[in-house]
Amino acid sequence: MGNNQLNSLNNSLPKSISKDRAILLKFIQNQVAKGEGKPFKQFLLEHSEAKRYYLALKHVTTTNKAICMAMQIPVEAGTRYKATLEKQGLLVSSVDEYPCPYTGDKAHLLTTNPMEFERLRKTKDNQLTLF
């Protein structure tokens, strides 16, 4: 690996994002690095986008946009990885929508951590449905 590749990883967050968003992305990156037991830059170098998406969602339950931004994955690619992992039974999306920590828009939370599956499958809404 050349120094140019390593230098480009040193600037892992876009300069145009707000301070709050930068803090959020750094938090997600730190949680993944801690969970994987290696520096985040090393994690990026060792894994493909699809593998980063899967592994990151084992350590952080969040939205597609937030995980993609933190893992430096195009959102469109993350959406494809999400669909593939759901079909394989390896990813669960929350029943309810929550504010995305990155955009503030309503979105479903995602996880590949089996210990979180049941929690996300339950609704916080106690209202009965007729259909």
Q: What is the pLDDT of residues 98-110, one digit of tens each?
A: 999 999 999 999 9
Query: If pLDDT is split at 50, 70 and 90, which confidence band does 125 have?
Result: low
The whole-model pTM stands at 0.82
- For 107, the enclosing helix (H) or strand (E) is strand 106-111
Domains and CATH numbers, the chain: 18-121 (1.10.10.10)
CA 60/CA 24 separation, integer angstroms:
12
Q: How buried is residue 92: exposed, middle or buried, by Cβ count under 10 Å (0-12/13-18/19+)? A: buried
Q: Alpha helix (H) ranges present in the chain?
A: 3-10, 19-36, 40-46, 49-59, 64-71, 75-87, 114-121
Helix (H, G, I), strand (E, B), or coil: what is residue 111?
strand
Q: Is the pLDDT of residue 14 over 80?
A: no
